[in-house]
Amino acid sequence: MAIETPVRPSSSAVDDLALARRLADRRPETLGELYDRHAPALLGIARRILGDAGEAEAAVQETFLDLWSQADRFDAARVSVPTWLVLVLRSRALDRRRSPGGRPTTTAVAQKETATLGADGAAFERRRQRVLAALAELPAAQRQVLELIFWEGLSRGELEERLGLTRETVRNLALAGLKALRRGLRDEIRELI
Amino acid sequence: MSGERASEERAAEAVLLELERVAGSADTAVTAPDDEVAEVLRRLYLETLGLLGATALPVEPPPELRARLLAGLTGDETQEVEPLAPPVPVPAPPRQAPAPPPPEPLAREIPLRGAAARRPRGRRRLWAATAFLGLAAAALAVWAAYLQSELDATAARLQRAEAHAESAARAHREELAAARGETAESGRRLALVTAPGAAVFSLRPPPGARQPSARATLFVAPDRKRWLLEARNLAPEPPAQDYQLWFVVDGIPLRGEVFEVRPGQTPRLTGEDLPPRTAAVWITLERQGGAPAPSAPMLLAAESSIRL
């Protein structure tokens, strides 16, 4: 009576889920395990948004503290652990960048210190290449809008101003890009869930 | 087609709007989606956006960042540090070996004058050596008893720690199995939605229906045969009645599965026999075991499907 050949959940997704559940036991070592699995990727994102190493580390630390304090409210049916971490980190990093002492950044700064992560590094790199390939498939305008939204946190109004487009055009570009990206990243999404 | 596009655009736009709210943008409980389709689409778009972060090169964090993070947790007053082993009772004081009769104080051994002073020196030495050995034996017996009790207590502690570790391992195994099951179930549902050509019937209560908050979603696999129904907020059926699913083909409702609802449960039905040309899906409340044709008003109905 199975409805569909089950998607085999990746062991990584299952491990993340189990660890997230165990956080409710308030054991710091559980958070440590999640940190070991995700901190390099998160620090890479924070460095790309913030540029400054110290600020980036602070944003990563805040993100894991958020996970720790909200562990009992984490709902695995609504979002995967890595995505939750990435989106919270992005939010924290953008907050820091927009704060009075925050500094604009360039991606070049963040590219300097890349990790040597062995097998994990290979997995990161495979995923990175697949996402880059999916982005490359998008029309340039759609890609640009999505990247500005994600990496710089620009609102539609700010995009309108930056790109000299109407708000409706910005909206259409973002939606079309996101839809195309979802289809292009179907396999990666399955791995996450 | 317009329903399909609208549903997808709504989900994508909602996620983009959430992302625009910089502070707390990843709050996973921002909006309560009105049905299963919206929930699933919203999740897919959230995961898509999260993957944009994967284009950044990973950076090895400095070791002190981890240490700082974990040290910060230790200061968390809400943290409850569970002991690794159950509390160890204070060990009973060591059993005392029967003490030999108290030897004479040494001082008495070397009186300088009187009768004892006249004892031969060899006997005195023998007596002193005997007394010393007696004392040493008594002390050794006490020490041995103490060590034995320590060993017993340590063995008991180890046994308890082993039992605790075994119990924790069992709990984690069960937890992992539950997580795997949940993920597999989630994967099955999402496989339908992510499969090109999958279709969804979103069942809503018709106007005036008895359960206005009830909802159901029927996912149909691309082969148009296999399906999965999930219902929410349906009240438990009254005595001697069952819920019944109907597949409407050419305007005629064909008998579908009969099911029950338990309080707090989300009924999930699967099948591999969706009638060809099913255009609509209904749910009614019928007599126990089901009816050959609908005899009660529709509780939930979807008159068309959307393709994902």
Query: Between residues 105 and 124 of chain B, which touch chain A (CB distance below 8 Å)?
Result: none
Q: Which two tokens stand for residue B130?
A: 């005997």
Contact B12, A73 (CB under 8 A): no
Contact A156, A171 (CB under 8 A): yes
Q: Which of A46, A66, A65, A64 is nearest to A56 (CA)?
A: A46
pLDDT score, position A118 = 54
d(CA B132, CA B155): 34
Residues A24 and A87 in one domain: yes
Residues A91 and A148 in one domain: no
pLDDT score, position A94 = 93
Average pLDDT, chain B: 77
Tens of pLDDT, residues B244-279: 999 999 999 999 999 999 887 788 888 888 999 999
Q: Which two tokens stand for residue A150?
A: 């994600």
For residue A110, being part of any structural domain is answered with yes
Contact B258, B244 (CB under 8 A): yes
Question: Least CB-CB distance to A91: which of B25, B28, B60?
Answer: B25
Residues A25 and A106 in one domain: yes
Residues A36 and A69 in one domain: yes
What percent of chain B shows pLDDT beyond 90?
A: 25
Residues of chain A contacting B47 with CB distance shorter than 8 Å: 79-80, 83, 189, 192-193
pLDDT score, position B223 = 85
Closest residue in B to A133 (Cα–Cα): B55
Residues A141 and A68 in one domain: no
Contact A28 B79 (CB under 8 A): yes
pLDDT score, position B216 = 92
CA distance A6 to chain B (A): 5
b/e code A109-145 from CB counts within 10 Å (16+ = b)? ebeeebbebeebbeebeebbebbeebbeebeebbbbb
Query: Between residues 99 and 118 of chain A, which touch chain B (CB distance below 8 Å)?
Result: 110-111, 113-117
* Bigger pLDDT: B21 vs A127: A127
Name, in order, each residue with C-beta under 8 angstroms of B200's C-beta and a sequence gap of 6 or more: B37, B193, B217, B218, B219, B220, B305, B306, B307, B308
Question: Least CB-CB distance to B52: which of A7, A113, A150?
Answer: A150
Residues A73 and A17 in one domain: yes
Residues of chain A contacting B72 with CB distance shorter than 8 Å: 61, 65
**Is the per-residue pLDDT at A93 higher than 90?**
yes
Q: Which of B10-14, B86-90, B94-98, B206-210 reaches the highest mean pLDDT?
A: B206-210
Provide the residue range defining the domain that includes A193. Answer: 116-193
Residues A104 and A126 in one domain: no
CATH number where A152 lies: 1.10.10.10
Q: How many domains does chain A have?
A: 2
Question: Does A126 lie at the interface with B, CB-CB under 8 angstroms?
Answer: no
For residue A175, being part of any structural domain is answered with yes
d(CA A112, CA A91): 23
Q: Which of A78, A94, A114 is the last residue of a domain?
A: A114
**SS3 label, residue A89:** helix
Q: If you average pLDDT over residues B60-66, what whole number do you get?
A: 90
For residue A192, being part of any structural domain is answered with yes
Q: Which of A92, A114, A136 is the last residue of a domain?
A: A114
Residues A78 and A131 in one domain: no
Q: Which of B275, B274, B269, B294 is nearest to B283 (CA)?
A: B294
Q: Which of A51, A80, A114 is the last residue of a domain?
A: A114
Q: B64: how many CB neighbours lie within 10 A of its CB? A: 10
What pLDDT band is residue A149 in, cutting at 50, 70 and 90? very high
Q: Is A22 exposed, middle or buried (0-12, 13-18, 19+ CB in 10 A)?
A: buried
Closest residue in A to B176 (Cα–Cα): A18
Contact B227, B218 (CB under 8 A): yes
Residues A131 and A52 in one domain: no
pLDDT score, position B17 = 79
Residues A65 and A150 in one domain: no
CA distance A37 to chain B (A): 11
For residue A1, being part of any structural domain is answered with no
Question: Does B167 lie at the interface with A, CB-CB under 8 angstroms?
Answer: no
For residue A3, being part of any structural domain is answered with no
Residues A189 and A107 in one domain: no
Contact A175, B16 (CB under 8 A): yes
Q: Please, which contacts does B173-180 make with residues 24 or more away whose CB atoms are closer than 8 Å?
A: B175/A18, B175/A21, B175/A22, B176/A14, B176/A18, B179/A14, B179/A17, B179/A18, B179/A21, B179/A76, B180/A9, B180/A14
CATH number where A38 lies: 1.10.1740.10
Residues A35 and A108 in one domain: yes
* C-alpha radius of gyration, chain A, whole number: 18
d(CA B49, CA B69): 27
Query: Between residues 28 and 67 of chain A, which touch chain B (CB distance below 8 Å)?
Result: 28, 31-32, 35-36, 39-41, 43-45, 47-48, 56-57, 60-61, 64-65
For residue A156, being part of any structural domain is answered with yes
Q: If you average pLDDT over residues A122-146, what whole number do you get?
A: 92
For residue A47, being part of any structural domain is answered with yes
Name, in order, each residue with C-beta under 8 angstroms of B153's C-beta and a sequence gap of 6 or more: B88, B91
Contact A93, A59 (CB under 8 A): yes
